[in-house]
Amino acid sequence: MEYVSPEGLRLDGRRPMEMRQLRAQIGAVAKADGSAVFEMGNTKVIAAVYGPREVQNRSQQIGDQALVRCEYSMANFSTGDRKRKPKGDRRSTEISLVIRQTMEACILTHLMPRSQIDIYVQVLQADGGTRSACINAATLALADAGIPMHDLVTSCSAGYLNSTPLLDLNYVEDSAGGPDITVGILPKLDKVTLLQMDAKLPVDIFENVMQLAIEGCKAIATYIGEVLLENTKQLEYRKGL
Amino acid sequence: MLHSKTFSKKTRGGKVQKLVREVYLRDDIYCGASFCKVCDTSAARFTASASTILVLDTNVVLNQIDLLENPAIEDVVVLSVVLQEVKNKNTAVYNRIRALCSNPARKFFVFSNEFHRDTYVQNMTGESPNDRNDRAIRVATRWYQSHLGDAVKVLLITNDRENKKKATEEGVSAETIESYVKSLGQPALLDLLAQPASEDIIMEEVEDLRPSKRKVVYPEHKPMSEITAGLTSGIYHQGKLRVNRYNPFEAYVGSESIGDEIVVYGRGNMNRAFDGDIVAVEILPQDQWREDESLSIADEDDDNEEVHLVPSSADDAPRTTNSVSGSASDTNPISGRPCGRVIGIIKRNWHSYCGSLEPMPMPAGSGGLVYALFVSKDRRIPKIRIQTRQLENLLDKRIIVAVDSWDRQSRYPSGHYVRSIGEIGDRDTETEVVLIENDIDARPFSAQVLACLPPLPWSVSEQDLVNPIRTDLRHLRVFSVDPPGCKDIDDALHCMMLPNGNFEVGVHIADVTNFVHPGTPLDDEATQRGTSVYLVERRIDMLPKPLTEDICSLRADVERLAFSVIWEMTPEAEIISTRYIKSVIKSCAALSYVEAQARMDDSRLMDPVTKDLRNMNTLAKTMRQRRIERGALTLASAEVKFQIDTETHDPLDIGMYQIREANQMVEEFMLAANVSVAEQILKHFPGCSLLRRHPTPTKDMLEPLLRTAASVGLNLDISSSKALADSLDHAVSDDPYFNKLIRIMATRCMTQAVYFCSGDLSPPEFHHYGLAAPLYTHFTSPIRRYADVIVHRLLAASLEIYKLPTIFRDRPQQTSIADNLNYRHRNAQMASRGSVELHTLIYFRKRPIDTEARIVKIRSNGFIVFVPKYGIEGPVYLTPRGEKGGGEWFVDEQQQKIKKMDGSLSYGILQAVKIHLEVVEPQPNRPKLQLTLL
């Protein structure tokens, strides 16, 4: 299958190093402390953050830092076929864990001992790269909730098909069976907090692809920064300052 | 700009699914004209002075690809929507149009109209995908016209009437391909036009003139829906149709659903299917099985046997099941094989064919349009009807013809002329035909490939010597033994007595992978070529000449890089240890087989090299003996060798290839090296090693051998290769040539050995039957075989000298490489045979000869003889042609004898007969060898 035409265009008209269109909206769930909707092309994710609040289950309380919990789910209508997926299947559990660990790494948990932060992410529409979109949405929601963080974590995926590194794979490219790397970084600190790949790839190519994914993360970080700035300006305006 | 594309798709399960895809529309897609002022012209293709730019419709690309490949057509826009449609309909054409687009010499430009902001077309409600695509083509054409302005004319080429009409209405200039080609004023181009099925006006005229011709010849093909339904319910069977190479009226369809081959007799039952087509077959009722055969042969107008080279394996040999054709006494066999008829063609395998026109009288007014029948060199292909305006030019030429269609009313498929190769009978032309038929790329290497070569003159550098991966073996007494005049020496040997009485024996193979790196154009080219091809008068190299004849060739008295396998062996030739090292060697002598043999035989010579040779020969004999005891087969082949006139390249003499002890000695060590390397790479890479296996022949395949042997009172045991080898050894009679004959016949019952990827099969299947080795691979000829290059890389990786190239991680790709190697290997062999056949013909053209021959097969009207001296095989007729199964002779099946009715004369199998050999020309320009009984 030809995923990149000799003219250098992908199946959806992007070039290999181009990302899908990004859209973000802060404050989608009024009841939550922080929330956001994040879109990468046709992938659409909603995230809501509650906390820091009192730990619900006392036995889980940690004396010197906050407890971060994360729940990932996919809406039943998120994919084309209406398959009823049981809650807590392996894939969801794994992605919940991945998101939790990534977010935990950037939240300043020691500032909020004996408290709990809940992150809920739900995929509204899936078209590849849900993991990355979830992390980006969660970052926005955490920022919206005003939770102290080292940096904004951003994530992006990249793959390697037809001997070409491709940025931000969509569903068709994702299901091609090629290597697919999801990277999460702290852009200002230039640190990697998440790196996933479940395929074989020679080291030199892997480095190229990962570099591409990092570039993608940085672009998303810039975009998220703009969105937050815009949001803050609006808050300022509403407060009448 | 972002767009969403929504469409519905039926899933495999039968559910209808709605899919949504994004489409990013861009403004950075350029028009490809170098004179355009708006666009970026760095990727521009069109000539600066282009006056007309052509936009092609899908049907034009699909049907007229031969015309498009002609350099007269240029400045063409290929729209991405067209490419997509072509790809879905015909991958072969897609690959060809892609090749055109990527060729910088041709002015073909791909315009991605589907992603351009101004040419993207949204599907309208109620519009079929076809109409939508046609509209997209028109929109793109109009965009081109407005974009480029009045300076150039943008012309839409379409053969779709509806599309053309709409285009004209919308103000887009459109023409059919015929009228465009006519306007170019090159009549030769018109021949290249494919004749679209009967819509063509000219065809309609013909229909009126000769109504009798238009009656239905073939039954209709069933509609696709019915075929699919029939396949799932098990009424029909799907498979690839393979036409018998020796009888084009018989074909086989290997069907998985019944696990057997279905035989299809006669053109009527084949129902317009070509060799290689994927067809749907219906099994005939049992009482009709095998009945059609006599009919089909009566139908045939030319002889079905020709003199040809002796087949070297079962793959080249004619199918034997029906070779004892239709004699009355034939009661039992074959009726177990189901017969069927083709009811539909699922996928066509049409490509272009090489051959010549059937001789025909010149029509009165020359230069006019005439129909001619094309006869392919490949006998499996039916005659093809073509239209031509240049009959007088083509009659005595070898030409290439492509098939366009085959409708029910015509006896023969219709096609069109593609190009001519040269005069029939001319040696260069015929050699090229051989190459084309076997899909061999004989073009010179491209500049990119040559750029990968190290600079000349090359010599072993200081760097190579100090490189820790390389061992300096220049002090060893290494020498090579090859055929005389060999320039691409890829193996050398050494043998040294150790203080403990054992021998150190080394096989040194040219280190090709030091120069051919994975992923380079040089490597890609070699992967494609797969093997060097040896023709009688020339060699087509897999790697460029500087590598094969100089840098890699292990010539005498120069330092060369090598990959060495070094054993310590006991005097009984038991291997104690094996080392694999990259080395630097300096060969002290490049001997020929003859020289080596002479040195060994001359007892007065006592120089070190001769002593080494004798030691090695002793070891080799022991190894050979042990191999034979293990059950390796000693097979014989009837290889011939030509002596070629150095100036005219005409064959001067012809004779059997002689095998000496020296040959066997070298062969033995090469086999041992291959086996050792196979063990090493399989140990390290059990999933991705490239090995070579030789499947055990089935009982059916050995059947003809057994039948022949039984008729001369010989009982062969075929239960294992060991048993067969033993009984072949015991097959002796007072006739000195008898044993060799039986061996030759055994050889042709075997299939060929094949390359495979070790991950694709289970270890018991790795077995090499002919060599009786559990593991085997090819390591010793990397200059001329690509498989060896791969094995070199694997071996280097197993020693951790290099990293394993990425390709080995990709199983499907590796399998496809192995398949390609098998295909190329086989084609190279076929080409060599073709070349030998051609030269045999040239040789005998001037020298008719009387010689001795052996009967190998009895037919109803004669027998097939084998001429040992020249390695050829052909029919001898006892009755004149036309009287098939003549009255005065009858065939004794049991004893394989043909007898005269009055009992005065009889011929039995393997009997020696005197025959006369000469070249005849039954039709002008069609010389062939004829054998007649003296």
Tens digits of per-residue pLDDT, B354-371? 888 887 776 655 556 778
Within a domain: residue A192?
yes
Mean pLDDT of B207-217: 53
CA distance to partner chain A, nearest, from residue B95 (Å): 12
CA gap A146, A34 in Å, rounded: 8
Looking up tokens 């001619």, which residue turns up? B372
What are the residue ranges of helices labelled H in B567-642? 593-601, 608-630
Name the residue among B22, B25, B110 with its Cβ closest to that of A41.
B22
Taking CA atoms, B223 is separated from B129, B683, B833, B884, in Å, by 21, 53, 42, 40
Angle at B609 between CA B606 and CA B613, to 5 degrees: 95
Domain range enclosing A122: 8-239
Cβ atoms of residues A168 and A40 within 8 Å: yes
Confidence category of residue B191, pLDDT binned at 50, 70, 90: confident
Lowest mean pLDDT among B462-471, B472-481, B861-870: B861-870
Identify the three-state secondary structure at position B533.
strand
CATH of the domain at A220: 3.30.230.70
Mutate to test the interface with A, among B115, B120, B803 (most CBs of A within 10 A): B115
Confidence category of residue B746, pLDDT binned at 50, 70, 90: confident
B846 inside 8 A of chain A by CB: no
More confident residue, B1 or B529: B529
CA gap B286, B335 in Å, rounded: 9
pLDDT at residue number B695? 85
For residue A217, the one-letter residue type is: C
Looking up tokens 């009919």, which residue turns up? B295
Cβ atoms of residues B574 and B626 within 8 Å: no
pLDDT at residue number B212? 46
Identify the three-state secondary structure at position B375.
strand
pLDDT at residue number B507? 93
CA gap B865, B854 in Å, rounded: 5
pLDDT at residue number B319? 44
pLDDT at residue number A134? 96
**What's the pLDDT tens digit per position in B56-97?**
999 888 888 888 888 888 888 999 999 999 988 888 888 889
Cβ atoms of residues A26 and A175 within 8 Å: no
Mean pLDDT of B128-148: 90
Centre a 10 Å sphere on the Cβ of residue B390 and count the other Cβ atoms it contains: 17
Low-confidence ranges of chain A (pLDDT < 70): 81-88, 241
Measuring CA to CA, which residue among B345, B340, B619, B616 is closest to residue B491?
B616
Beta-carbon separation of B98 and A6 below 8 A: yes
Cβ atoms of residues B228 and B308 within 8 Å: no
Confidence category of residue B330, pLDDT binned at 50, 70, 90: very low
Measuring CA to CA, which residue among B26, B17, B7 is closest to residue B122?
B7
Residues 176-235 of A with CB under 8 A from B: 200, 202, 205
Phi and psi, residue B131, nearest 5°: -65, -40
Q: Tokens in use for B886?
A: 């003549």
Confidence category of residue B927, pLDDT binned at 50, 70, 90: confident
Confidence category of residue B207, pLDDT binned at 50, 70, 90: very low
CA gap B389, B841 in Å, rounded: 32
Instruction: Indicate the helix (H) or strand (E) that contains A53.
Output: strand A43-54
Within a domain: residue A190?
yes
pLDDT at B650 over 80: no
Within a domain: residue A2?
no
Measuring CA to CA, which residue among B314, B124, B362 is closest to residue B696?
B314
Lowest mean pLDDT among B226-230, B317-321, B357-361, B561-565: B317-321
pLDDT at residue number B365? 58
Confidence category of residue B204, pLDDT binned at 50, 70, 90: very low
CA gap B875, A75 in Å, rounded: 76
B526 inside 8 A of chain A by CB: no
Within a domain: residue A109?
yes
More confident residue, B636 or B628: B628
**What's the pLDDT tens digit per position in B538-594?**
888 899 988 888 888 888 888 899 999 999 999 888 899 999 999 999 988 888 888
More confident residue, A176 or B313: A176
Q: Tokens in use for B695?
A: 């499947």
pLDDT at residue number B599? 87
pLDDT at residue number B305? 52
Confidence category of residue B779, pLDDT binned at 50, 70, 90: very high
More confident residue, B877 or B311: B877
CA gap B555, A50 in Å, rounded: 79
Beta-carbon separation of A80 and B19 below 8 A: yes
Question: Residue B738: exposed, middle, or buried by beta-carbon count in 10 A (0-12, 13-18, 19+)?
Answer: middle
Residues 807-826 of B with CB under 8 A from A: 809
Measuring CA to CA, which residue among B253, B331, B241, B257 is closest to residue B290?
B331
Within a domain: residue A1?
no
More confident residue, B331 or B730: B730
CA nearest to B111 within chain A? A7
Beta-carbon separation of B25 and A13 below 8 A: yes
Contacts of A20 in chain B (CB under 8 A): 22
What distance lies between CA B519 and its chain's CA centroid? 25
Cβ atoms of residues B722 and B770 within 8 Å: no
Beta-carbon separation of A80 and B809 below 8 A: no
Instruction: Indicate the helix (H) or strand (E) that contains B821.
Output: helix B811-846
CA nearest to B115 within chain A? A13
Within a domain: residue A44?
yes
Q: Where are the beta strands (DSSP E) in B378-441?
A: 384-388, 397-405, 414-423
Contacts of B65 (CB under 8 A, 6+ apart): B93, B96, B97
pLDDT at B841 over 90: no
Within a domain: residue A3?
no
Domain tally for chain A? 1
Length of chain B: 934
More confident residue, B894 or B135: B135
Identify the three-state secondary structure at position B124.
coil
Residues 7-26 of A with CB under 8 A from B: 7, 9, 11-14, 18, 20-21
Cβ atoms of residues B101 and B108 within 8 Å: yes
Beta-carbon separation of A200 and B809 below 8 A: yes
B24 inside 8 A of chain A by CB: yes
Taking CA atoms, B243 is separated from B403, B404, B864, in Å, by 17, 20, 21
State the sign of the Cα–Cα–Cα–Cα dihedral B647, B650, B655, B657.
positive
B101 inside 8 A of chain A by CB: yes
Q: Tokens in use for B653?
A: 């003499």
Paired strand residues for B694: B768
Q: Tokens in use for B654?
A: 């012809």
Contacts of A170 in chain B (CB under 8 A): 22
Lowest mean pLDDT among A95-109, B184-198, B370-384, B683-697: B184-198
CA gap B138, B172 in Å, rounded: 7
Mean pLDDT of B319-328: 39
Phi and psi, residue B702, nearest 5°: -85, -5
Q: Which ipTM value was assigned to this complex?
A: 0.90
pLDDT at B292 over 50: no
Cβ atoms of residues B855 and B865 within 8 Å: yes
Average pLDDT, chain B: 80
A88 inside 8 A of chain B by CB: no
Within a domain: residue A35?
yes
Beta-carbon separation of B20 and A42 below 8 A: yes
Beta-carbon separation of B101 and A6 below 8 A: yes
pLDDT at residue number B329? 37
Paired strand residues for B850: B916
More confident residue, B260 or B517: B517
DSSP code of B222?
Answer: P
Question: Residue A166: exposed, middle, or buried by beta-carbon count in 10 A (0-12, 13-18, 19+)?
Answer: buried
Confidence category of residue B804, pLDDT binned at 50, 70, 90: confident
For residue B538, the one-letter residue type is: R
